[in-house]
């Protein structure tokens, strides 16, 4: 279990590597309510990112619309990375507005 964590952290630390969100430090006991445990992440700063939104597909004569809904919670090493992720999610899921935020954990 420790090797995949070390590998993931080393890939994020490479120069020129684009940082991505992670749920590596996510405590399993808390379920979907907690994005990550900042104490387990090696970054100097940790940002909590949340995005929810979706798209609706309307089919003629169907009783209801089909909704593709996303509710993601990830942690990022910087606010810029968090906002970049949210911007990409907004482009994909712009049909139904949900909630989104980037908050510093440390």
- pLDDT, tens digit (0-9, with 9 covering 90-100), for 2-38: 444 333 444 344 333 344 555 555 544 445 555 677 8
Global pTM value:
0.64
Sequential DSSP letters for the chain: -HHHHHHHHHHHTSTTPPP--B-TT--GGGGGG----GGG---SS-EEEEEEEEEEE--TT-SS-EEEEEEEEEEESSHHHHHHHHHHHHHHS-SEEEEEEEEE--
Averaged pLDDT of the chain: 75
Is residue 72 a contact partner of residue 99, using CB atoms and an 8 Å limit?
no
Q: Where are the domains of the chain?
A: 22-104
pLDDT computed for residue 32 by the predictor: 55
98: number of Cβ within 10 Å: 14
């Amino acid at each position: 279990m420790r090797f995949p964590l070390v590998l993931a952290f080393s890939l994020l630390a490479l120069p020129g590597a684009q940082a991505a969100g992670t749920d590596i430090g996510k405590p399993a006991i808390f379920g979907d309510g907690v994005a990550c445990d900042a104490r387990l992440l090696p970054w100097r700063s940790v940002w909590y990112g949340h995005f929810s939104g979706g798209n609706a597909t309307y089919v003629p004569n169907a009783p209801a619309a089909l909704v593709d809904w996303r509710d993601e919670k990830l942690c990022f090493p910087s606010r810029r990375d968090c906002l970049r992720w949210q911007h990409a999610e907004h482009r994909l899921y712009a049909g139904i507005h949900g909630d989104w935020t980037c908050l510093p954990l440390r």
